[in-house]
Amino acid sequence: MIGIISAMQEEVQALLHELKDIQTTEKGKRTYFTGTLFNKKVVIVFSRWGKVASAATTTQLINDYNLDEIIFTGVAGGIKPELNIGDVVIGKHLYQHDLDARPFYKKFEIPILKMKYLETKNASKLLNASSKFITDYNKYIEKTEALEFNITAPKTVHGDIVSGDQFISSLEKIGRLNKQLPTAICVEMEGASVAQVCYEYDTPFSIIRIISDKANDNATIDFSRFANTIASNYALGILKNYFN
């Protein structure tokens, strides 16, 4: 069975529409949807925003289901100029940009684990699935909707992701992240915490992030609408390729 997590219900709505033989379980104020997606047994849940919420959801998921892997999917803000709205980032290394336990540990180093980042699994397979999706993304995304969000030539990138309990929306904060974590290309609020739980439970983890904004002073798009009409359908198309 494969676990699929997102931070917002809208980000997996298209997946839920395709889910067959649905059963639901309510735990910890979350709904876990089990069923079959593209002939694969899956469990889908939205974790809510932030590192604590996503870590709690992941722990529950691992303990309650016999999982082969966990995939996180959702939106992120681009912090490199080469990333545009609608691009796909397949995560490589996951950092917590707000983790600082000095002087006991180095900045960004996870206490006890003594690791600054956690590495994803199955990235090459997800990259292939995403690249295949990009070639015919208009099968999943209406052209008018893509143009509304200025999506014209999306691409797939394999890169580092930073997570923290902050919504990054200023050039000043982007500059700080670029200086402190120069390999990171996008920022969000859950990935690194999910990666840490998966590492400690020895569960393979991978992550798909769709760029929804540039994480700058102009980061004012309708996130709910973008998640529902764009990110959710991206996840549907990418995972269909990944499972088949």
Cite the active site residues: 11, 213
For the chain, counts of helices (H) and of strands (E): 8, 10
Tell me the Cα Rg of the chain. 17
Residue holding tokens 């722990």?
A: 59
Distances (CA, A) of 139 to 12, 142, 149, 233, 237: 17, 8, 17, 10, 9
Distance CA 212, CA 197 (A): 26
C-alpha to C-alpha distance for 71 and 198, rounded to whole angstroms: 10
Q: Which amino acid is at 103?
A: P
CB 33 within 8 A of CB 18: no
